[in-house]
């Protein structure tokens, strides 16, 4: 899949004008604060309706703007389609997703364009809150199975209903929701268990290929949401949940630990080592996607810096299929050398405007 053009309106500081992209590699250069990251984040938003830097979508709006819009032309299997995503802020928080000017569901929309993003400034995967790690799994699962978003939505709806009953103290009707709670939680549990195993296998394979010094990372997915576990847990926890007025078990409490020699990776590794492991994890996601979907996603590399092993990055880029479209940014051009081996386009951005384009 190839993103041919991007057009945004009221997306942070980006100019409201279309940008054309190279089908292979696009290198975005400019001083700090000029909009390099905003540009690749707009690509991520177009594909996912989310940000890869923050869970707060409201931060994507230009200051004092009540709406934002992104559209792009995507070529896939020799067919071009136009994707567009619009959001409104305020009380309505309206979202409109369209493919070829026809309104579609979120599940249909996110299956049209898949992107994976690496950002050197965001290491929550290793050292952030459990929610960030769950999001890491959930986004990966949705990339290979867009229907998983519906399963997450169903579980969230059941969880809210169950919590409402717990808050009201209505114990008599809780049992009626147990089967639905167990079924929807089980679907999330199975998907996360399978994906955690797949990403661990791909990670180990890639790290071994490049003989990186941190090869003993373990990914431990810990969950109490297996159906058989929940059937035993719910009756035992009933009294405690009524007191707490909230569900004390389920996928919303899953944890994913990244351990090196049994210790949290975010605590024992240097900043550079953490960035390299996150980079390997992102490439592992790409491998899992290619194996399951038989396609190539877009790959975004934001804020490439000196703490990355650039020789390994070169090798990782070269192992991608030739049809993979890559976007890279850095405040210092010397760190972008890993992307310059083949045909590429250099885009210079200044104050949100692409001021120059040159193909090499």
Helix, coil or strand: residue 317: helix
In angstroms, the CA 202 to CA 273 distance is 18
Q: What is the pLDDT of residues 307-350, one digit of tens each?
A: 888 889 989 999 898 889 999 998 888 888 889 888 999 999 99
Per-residue pLDDT of the chain (360 residues; tens, 9 = 90+): 999 999 999 999 999 999 999 999 999 999 888 999 999 999 999 999 999 888 888 889 998 888 999 999 999 888 999 999 999 987 667 899 999 999 999 999 999 999 999 987 678 888 888 998 999 999 999 999 999 999 999 999 999 999 999 998 777 788 888 899 999 999 999 999 999 999 999 999 999 888 888 878 888 999 988 999 999 999 999 999 999 999 999 999 999 999 988 899 989 999 889 999 999 999 999 999 999 999 999 999 998 887 888 889 989 999 898 889 999 998 888 888 889 888 999 999 999 999 999 999
DSSP secondary structure letter of residue 62: P
Beta-carbon count within 10 A of 63 CB: 7
Q: Which two tokens stand for residue 285?
A: 């996601």
In angstroms, the CA 160 to CA 341 distance is 51
In angstroms, the CA 307 to CA 46 distance is 29
Beta-carbon count within 10 A of 65 CB: 14
Helices 174-210 and 310-319, packing angle to 10 deg: 110
Domain boundaries, the chain: 1-114+295-360, 128-290
Residues recorded for the chain? 360
CATH of domain 1-114+295-360: 3.40.50.300
Pinpoint the alpha helices (H) of 56-169: 106-110, 124-127, 130-144, 148-168
* Beta-bridge partner residues of 178: none
In angstroms, the CA 81 to CA 71 distance is 10
Using an 8 Å Cβ cutoff, are 48 and 33 in contact? no
Burial 209-245 (b: 16+ CB within 10 A, else e): ebebebeebebebebbbbeebbeebbeeebeebbeee
φ/ψ of 218, rounded to 5, equals -115, 135
Pinpoint the alpha helices (H) of 211-270: 227-244, 265-268
Question: pLDDT value at position 57?
Answer: 85
Q: Which CATH number fits domain 128-290: 3.50.50.60, 3.40.50.300, 3.40.710.10, 1.20.1050.90?
A: 1.20.1050.90
- Answer positive or negative: Cα dihedral of 144, 37, 123, 335: positive
Which positions ≥6 away from 65 have C-beta within 8 Å?
Answer: 10, 89
Burial 93-125 (b: 16+ CB within 10 A, else e): eeeebebeeeebebbebbbbbbbbbbbbebbbb
Using an 8 Å Cβ cutoff, are 154 and 242 in contact? no
- Answer positive or negative: Cα dihedral of 187, 190, 193, 198: negative
Question: pLDDT value at position 173?
Answer: 83
């Amino acid at each position: 899949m190839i993103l041919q053009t991007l057009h945004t309106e009221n997306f942070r500081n980006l100019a409201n004008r279309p940008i054309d992209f190279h089908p292979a590699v696009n290198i975005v250069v400019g001083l700090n604060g000029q909009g390099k990251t905003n540009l690749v984040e707009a690509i991520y938003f177009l594909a996912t309706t989310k940000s890869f830097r923050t869970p707060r979508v409201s931060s994507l709006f230009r200051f004092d703007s009540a709406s934002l819009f992104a559209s792009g032309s995507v070529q896939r299997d020799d067919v071009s389609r136009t994707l567009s995503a619009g959001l409104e802020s305020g009380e309505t928080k309206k979202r409109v997703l369209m493919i070829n000017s026809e309104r579609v569901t979120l599940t249909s929309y996110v299956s049209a364009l898949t992107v994976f993003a690496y950002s050197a400034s965001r290491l929550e995967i290793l050292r952030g809150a459990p929610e960030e790690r769950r999001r890491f799994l959930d986004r990966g699962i949705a990339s290979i199975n867009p229907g998983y978003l519906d399963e997450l939505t169903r579980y969230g709806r059941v969880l809210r209903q169950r919590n409402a009953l717990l808050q009201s103290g209505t114990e008599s009707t809780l049992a009626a929701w147990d089967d639905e709670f167990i079924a929807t939680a089980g679907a999330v549990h199975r998907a996360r268990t399978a994906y955690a195993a797949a990403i661990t296998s791909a990670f180990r394979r890639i790290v071994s290929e490049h003989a990186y010094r941190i090869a003993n990372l373990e990914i431990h997915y810990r969950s109490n949401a297996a159906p058989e576990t929940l059937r035993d847990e719910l009756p035992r926890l009933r009294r405690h949940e009524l007191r707490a007025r909230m569900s004390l078990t389920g996928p919303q409490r899953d944890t994913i630990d990244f351990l090196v020699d049994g210790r949290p990776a975010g605590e024992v590794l240097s900043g550079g080592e953490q960035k390299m492991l996150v980079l390997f994890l992102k490439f592992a996601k790409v491998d899992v996607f290619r194996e399951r979907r038989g396609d190539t996603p877009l790959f975004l590399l934001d804020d490439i810096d000196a703490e990355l092993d650039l020789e390994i990055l070169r090798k990782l880029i070269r192992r991608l299929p030739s049809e993979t479209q890559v976007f890279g940014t850095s405040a210092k051009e010397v760190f972008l050398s890993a992307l310059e081996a083949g045909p590429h386009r250099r885009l210079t951005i200044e104050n949100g405007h692409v001021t120059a384009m040159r193909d090499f």
